[in-house]
Amino acid sequence: TYIVGDACIKCKYTDCVEVCPVDCFYEGENMLVIHPDECIDCGVCEPECPADAIKPDTEPGLEKYAELNAKYAAEWPNITVKKDPLPEAEEFDGVENKLESYFS
């Protein structure tokens, strides 16, 4: 599966949802997540994210985000249509370790 990581938090550009063939993105207030049981590992979303937030789960160090994606994909609503990024997206693009302070 692919995973939405820290870089999405407070940016939420939503370009990713437009290209997913199985519509497996789910939306929280400050980030999106991918449903691990629905993602077919096609990889087309990875280059679409302007914040470079999407990675395959084979990359090291993503365990925390893998858990978060699985947990919240079961709770948050599905999103399939692109919308405006968060107003603070540019300010937070490139900021590291946003999870503890800004996740919601």
Could you please report the per-residue DSSP string of 19-63?
A: H-TT--EEE-SS-EEE-TTT-----TTGGG-TT--EEETTSTT-H
Please identify which residue in 39, 51, 62, 86 interacts with ligand F3S, judged by CB under 6 A: 51
Please identify which residue in 1, 15, 57, 70 interacts with ligand F3S, judged by CB under 6 A: 15
What residue 9 binds from ligand F3S, ligand SF4, none (CB within 5 to 8 A, per partner kind)?
A: none
Q: Residue numbers of the site for ligand SF4 (CB under 6 A)?
A: 2, 19-22, 24, 34, 39-45
Nearer to ligand SF4, 9 or 54 (CB): 54
Looking at the DSSP bridge assignments, the partners of residue 2 are 56
What is the C-alpha to C-alpha distance for residues 12 and 49, in angstroms, rounded to an integer? Answer: 9
